[in-house]
Amino acid sequence: KAGVTQTPRYLIKTRGQQVTLSCSPISGHRSVSWYQQTPGQGLQFLFEYFSETQRNKGNFPGRFSGRQFSNSRSEMNVSTLELGDSALYLCASSPAPRGRNYEQYFGPGTRLTVT
């Protein structure tokens, strides 16, 4: 079974621009979560989608948004990029958001650099 894939793997943007990151979960997984990882803050939860609905959202400004499609693929968008948005963005999928089925499988991440 193929793992979680994320595109692009690396991205360089300038302040003020916007960016869209893509995540394809493991086949059959319907739950997708997004995280931002930085050395100082660790893994910070962005949002979780299940069956095309946002189930939960972390404490990030409205510039961060996401969506999930009927095939469970997900995208996240960051508008008006700031230098502090430079981070590794990780996507994780799981069969369902409960119990042991909540074990999350992470993709390789997208390394975003904002200059």
Partner 1 sequence: GQNIDQPTEMTATEGAIVQINCTYQTSGFNGLFWYQQHAGEAPTFLSYNVLDGLEEKGRFSSFLSRSKGYSYLLLKELQMKDSASYLCAVREGAGNNRKLIWGLGTSLAVNP
Residue ranges that bind partner 1, judged by CB under 8 A: 4, 33, 35, 41-45, 48, 55-56, 58, 90, 97-98, 100, 102-109
Q: To the nearest whole angstrom, how small is the minimum distance from the Cβ of residue 55 to partner 1?
A: 5
Give the Cα-Cα-Cα angle 19, 21, 24 (nearest 5 degrees): 165
CB distance 41 to 60 below 8 Å: no
Residue position matching structure tokens 């979780």 = 48
Pick the closer one to partner 1 by CB: 73 or 111.
111
Q: To the nearest whole angstrom, how small is the minimum distance from the Cβ of residue 85 to partner 1?
A: 19
Pick the closer one to partner 1 by CB: 8 or 16.
8
Q: To the nearest whole angstrom, how small is the minimum distance from the Cβ of residue 56 to partner 1?
A: 5
Pick the closer one to partner 1 by CB: 17 or 96.
96
- As a dihedral over the C-alpha atoms of residue 60, residue 42, residue 114, residue 112, rounded to 10 degrees, the angle is -100
CB distance 37 to 109 below 8 Å: yes
